[in-house]
A and B are shown apart, each in its own frame.
Chain A
C-alpha cells in the first residue's frame, strides 16, 4: 500500500513537473504544477509529516496556485507568442545543466546512501502540529519571525503598489452609494 502510494505520488510529482515545462498552454502548465504540488503532499504524508502535507495543500494548492490560476486564466492566452530570445533565454540551458549536475551530486552523495536502510528513527509525535509549533517557537524562532516580518512587508508593499494605480478610489466611491448599474 505504502509502496503503491509512493510510486503513484512519485510519478505524479515528476510527471507534473515535466508537464509544467513542456506544455504550451500556460493554463495547463499551472494545472500541472498543482498536480505536482499535490503529489508532493502525498510524499510528505508517506514521510509521516501530516502537518506539512496539509500545509502544502492549503498554502500552495489552495492559496498560491489559486492566484496563478486567477491571473493566467485572465491574461494568459494560449496563442500568445513566447518572448523573443534574449540573454536570459540563452543562459537558461547553462543554468539547467549546472543545476542537474548539482542535484546529481547531492543525490549520489547523500540520498542514495539511505537505500536498503530503515531510514531515520521517528520519535513519538513526529511531524505533529504540536511538535512543529514548539520547534518554530523555540529552536527556529528567529527564522520564523524574520519570515513573518518579510511577509508583512510584502503584504504592505502589495497594498501600496495597488493603491498607487488610479481606479481603486473610484471603486470605493461606487460601493458607498450603491449606484452600480
Chain B
C-alpha cells in the first residue's frame, strides 16, 4: 500500500480493524444497495400483508401480484412538484427530510451481516458490515438523537398547526421511548461485556440473548415500535386527528424521503434487534449463508412490525406517555438491575 493510500485509509476513529480502501468502498456499496432495496420490498410486503390481514387482496394491478406497485408510487412522487406552503420556513423545510433520511441510512452501517473473513478476497481480512466501532450501539443512538431534528424541524418549518402538533408529539414520544430502548439494550451489553455489535453477535454462538434477556427483548420491541412511529404508537401521524402529523405539508420526493426514512428506521431497528437478541448471523448451514440468516431474521422482525400494525388499535396520547414512563422505563430498570446482579454473581 502506498503512503497516500495509507493516509486515506487511516481510520478517523477507533475501529476493530481497517480494511483496504477498495474493500471498504465495495462493502459500503453492497450494504447500502441491499438496505435500500429492502425499502420498496417492505412497502409492497406491508400493503399486501395488510390486505390479507383485513380480508382483501391489497395492490394487485401493477406487475405480477402487484409487485411493481412501490416502483410506480415512487415514480409518481418523484414527478410531483416540490411544493412548500407560503407560511413555511423554506430552508428548514427543505433540509428536514434530508436530515431524517441521512440519519436513517447512516445508522444501517453498524448492522453486522457476518463475521470478519480472512479468505483473502481483498488480500486482507474484511468484515461483512459497514463499520465496527468501539462505541457500537451508542453510534445508533447518537444518530437517533439527530434523527429527531428531521421530524421536529419538518413539523415546525411547515407553518401549520397540525404539523407542529405532530412534531411536538414526536418530540415527547422519541425522548420517552429512547430511554426505555437504551435501558433494555444495556442488559445485553452487560452480558456480552462489549458495546460492539459484532462482538455481541459472537457471544451468542451458544445461546441467543433473546433467551436470558427475554424481558429486555420485549421492552426493546415495544420501544422500537414507538421509536419508528409505527402503530400502535403512530400518534405522531395520527390520521384522524392530525391529518399526517409533521409530514402534513410535505409532498413529492420530500414526503417520500420522510416515508423512506421511517422504513429505513424500521429496517435498522430490526437489524439491531437481530444482532442484539436474535443471534445475528448465527444459524445452521455453511458460512456463506450468514448474511442471509441476518436478512431472514430482519424480515421476520419486519413482518412483526406489520402484523402489530394490522392488529392493535392506536393508543391515546396520555396512555402512550404513562405507558412509556410508568411501565417500560421501570421494567427496563428492573431488568437492568437483575441482569447486573446475575452477571456479577454467576
Contact = CB atoms under 8 A, between A and B. Distances in A.
A45 B92 CA distance: 27
Nearest to A178: B316
Nearest to A74: B168
A128 B12 contact: no
Interface in B173-187: 174-175, 178
A48 B145 contact: no
A128 B134 contact: yes
A54 B135 contact: yes
A74 B165 CA distance: 10
Interface stretch (B38-46, B146-154, B273-281): B146-154
Main secondary structure of the interface of A (DSSP, over half): helix
A85 interface: no
Given A62-B146, A69-B156, 6 more contacts: A31-B92, A38-B146, A51-B134, A53-B13, A57-B143, A66-B148
16 contacts: A1-B7, A45-B12, A50-B135, A51-B135, A54-B138, A62-B144, A62-B145, A63-B175, A66-B148, A66-B171, A69-B149, A73-B152, A73-B156, A129-B134, A129-B138, A175-B319
Given A1-B8, A61-B145, A171-B318, A50 B171 contact: no
Contacts of B92: 31
A32 to B, nearest CB: 12
Interface size grouping (class) on chain A? 20 to 34
Main secondary structure of the interface of B (DSSP, over half): helix
Interface residues of B, number: 36
A70 B168 contact: yes
A58 B316 contact: no
A127 B14 CA distance: 9
Task: Give the one of A2, A73, A180 with max B CB within 10 A.
Answer: A73
B142 A58 contact: yes
